[in-house]
Structure 1
Amino acid sequence: MRNTSEPVAAAGGAGMTTAVVQERYGAEPEAVLRMARLVRPEIGPDEVLVRVRASSVDRGTWHMMAGLPYAVRPVSGLRRPKLPNPGRNIAGVVEAIGSGVTGFAPGDEVYGTAAAAFADYATARPDRIAPKPAGLTFEEAATVPVSALTSLQAVRDKGRVREGQEVLITGAAGGVGTFAVQLAHAFGARVTAVASTPKLDAVRSLGADHVIDYTREDFLAAPRHYDVIIDIAGNRGLRELRRALTPRGRLVITGGETNGVWLGGTDRQLRAQLLSPFTGRHLGAFISSEHADGLRDLTSLIDAGMLSPVVDRVYPLTETAAAVRHLLDGRVTGKLALTVPAE
């Protein structure tokens, strides 16, 4: 990642922040992400300023960086990014609060989501942050919000996983998958996890009762049927997935990438929802939501020892482009964190 000391904006006497900057869309992180000095963001009456101590990257980071599929651009910016950088996850310390904010005070350690999180200061909404789990480092906590909230909503809210059920999880070694395996196990299900050869031991250690190496075995070929399928990284057809469900089973599609620049695989999710009313099985997808209630639920699970982030590697903020490249290479087990040194 290219470094520069030239600020993108300047204001006399204003505090400054070190941040990753993206001024255009592009699929190659080394080409579009750089370091810069910016004017520290100002907060409104209903916002919190967080001194960021750590962040993390996920697949959504790349989508926002690349502006792909094009369906994301009404949110991220039609021709160029609306935000300085594609970061979303934060863990850090409250620096200041707006006049209308209650429940937080300067000095509080928090985690959650914020816009433009790849910086040493970021503004956050109070309803999207929560007290940081005491047992986690900042780097560990920063890997939780987006991925674990997605997993919680997929497993608990959409999949309705409960004790004694048979649950299949594809993409089980990824950022969302490692949390999903733990959650399904914590809710008492028998978990079958799908991953590649080098990652089987890792997902087994998270509570999977059975693991399938998708490079050597078709995980849908066996006559086994599942009460719930959490499809995170799969691209299998809906007919095949439906056949692997029990008569009243539930399919929850949370991912599945294609090279399509317009929909990028979301068409499969849309078709699942359209097909669902015509079958006894529940076929569906969802867009995860970011909120403090979910973060507090995750904190309870973490504090109880039922959920723990799997951190593959920690990069300094200055190497954000390298972290995104590592993610794209597909060799990550769990999450990649970014650390932001304290002043």
Structure 2
Amino acid sequence: MTSQSTDQTENIAPIESAVPSQNAFKSLKQYLTQQIIGQEHLVDRLLIALLADGHLLVEGAPGLAKTKAIKELSKMLEGNFQRIQFTPDLLPSDVTGTEIYRPEDGQFHFQKGPIFHNLVLADEINRAPAKVQSALLEAMAERQVSVGKQTFMLDRLFLVMATQNPIEQEGTYPLPEAQLDRFLMHVKIDYPDAEAEKSILRLARQEYKEQDNTPIELEKIQQANIFEARNTVNQLYMAEAVEEYIVQLIIATREPGRYGDDLNRWIDFGASPRGTISLDRCAKAHAWLHGKDFVSPDDVRAVIHDTLRHRILITFEAEAEGITTDKIIDTLVERVPVA
């Protein structure tokens, strides 16, 4: 009897403490939006990735605050940050670490690489060769690094934001579709509008003026609060009809003929079960970030493009017609009914 009541208390505790965590994330979002002007979508997706315990692939032109976004996030979290600049001559050991011989004891010791940090920026991931990409993606998927006979676990708080530049494709190594699937979301960002551009100018001037001053110590979100928030997000109520809606959206990518001959012509391969899991987690995180205690179809639709964009392979015929993956997802949302 005592054991049952203890279990019930443990299950209820995260829900009761959800409000302080939710307030902390609201303050975090407000801070990031002030620092990363004109990229609210990127800020929102970064927080969703943090809550859903996944990794982010961000695509956008240079200078759109991709690096600044994750650096600012790291300032507000209890943890450490590392940036890795991916280049064609990078080696897997430059990411994971390597064994170093120490003459004093005549033994090899593993020197941990930059992947052993809480927040990692993999800048221009498509510039590194396949071996380096696979080393990073294996660490992302398995949350561990194997060197020889030893296996080293990564920290529980571990988020990779990889970036790629859509402008320059010469000398790049595009990520294979199977490896793209390991990213929770593929986010595309664009240039800010004129008003946001003015605000960016003013912020840059202010930062330049204050760069010689003593930096202000900001109150950081503790890792325990992040894990507590993740637990609350995971327990968020989702009606069976919404669950069925997610499943039918994924099935529609695999059996597009059921929803139109055009979709059948456009889709070559549909989303894997990882797509189902990611859509579920992201929809829950989106609902929680917006102060809701349940998940609605609107939350699913809000994250579906970023969650499935890299998981649907289109045919040559679709490419010839100028059909994009986003257009296909729009069509799926229009035609798949809510259960």
Assess same fold via TM > 0.5.
no
Task: Tell me the TM-score normalized by structure 1.
Answer: 0.25
Normalising to structure 2: TM-score of the pair?
0.25
Q: Higher Cα Rg: structure 1 or 2?
A: 2
Name the one with the larger helix percent. Answer: 2
